[in-house]
Amino acid sequence: MNNKVLCLTHSQDYYVTDLMSASLAKLNLQMIRMDTDTFPLSIEISAQQNVDGVSGSIRIAEETHKLSEFAAVWFRKNLHSNLTSALAGKTLNQATKESTVAKNAVLYALESIFWFDSPFDIQRAENKQLQLILAKQCGLIIPNSLLSNSPVAVKNFYYQENGSIISKMLTPLTNFMKSTKSFVYTSKVEEKHLANLDGLKYCPMQFQQEIQKEYELRVIYVDGYYFTGKIATSAITDDKKPDWRRAKQEDFFWQAYQLPENICQKINKLMNKLSLNFGALDIIRATNGDYVFLEVNPCGEWGMLQKTLDYPITDHIAQCIKNNIDKGHLHEQ
Q: Do the Cβ atoms of 59 and 45 come closer than 8 Å?
A: yes
39-51 tens-digit pLDDT: 999 999 999 988 8
User: Looking at residue 1, what is its pLDDT?
Assistant: 63
pTM, two decimals, is: 0.88
Q: Exposed e or buried b for every residue in 204-229, given b needs 16+ CB within 10 A? A: ebbbbbbbebbbbbbbbbbbeebbbb
Domains and CATH numbers, the chain: 4-110 (no CATH), 118-142+211-333 (3.30.470.20), 144-209 (3.30.1490.20)
Residues 6+ apart with CB under 8 A from 296: 125, 131, 221, 270, 271, 274, 276, 279, 280, 281, 282
How is residue 22 annotated by DSSP?
A: H
Which pLDDT score, from 0 to 100, does residue 179 have?
A: 41
Host H or E run for residue 308: helix 303-309
- 10 Å CB burial of residue 89 (0-12, 13-18, 19+) is exposed
* β 213-222/165-168 pair status: unpaired
**DSSP sequence for 115-152:** EET-HHHHHHHT-HHHHHHHHHHTT-B---EEEES-HH
Q: Are 258 and 228 in contact (CB under 8 A)?
A: yes
Alpha carbon 200 to its chain's center: 25
How much helix, strand and coil, in percent to the nearest 5, is found in the chain?
35, 30, 35
**Whole-number pLDDT of residue 245:** 53
Structure confidence at residue 227 (pLDDT): 98
Output the pLDDT for position 333: 40
The series of mean pLDDT values per 10 residues for the chain, 333 residues long, is 92 94 98 97 93 91 96 95 94 95 91 94 95 98 95 95 90 48 66 88 91 94 97 55 54 88 98 98 97 96 94 98 86 44
Q: What was the pLDDT predicted at 170?
A: 78
**What is the Cα–Cα distance from 227 to 256, expressed in whole angstroms?**
8
Give the alpha-carbon dihedral of 72, 97, 274, 325, to 10 degrees. Answer: 0
Residue pair 292/141 in contact (Cβ under 8 Å)? The answer is yes
Of how many residues is the chain composed?
333
Q: Given CA atoms 165, 166, 171, 175 in this order, what sign does their dihedral have?
A: negative
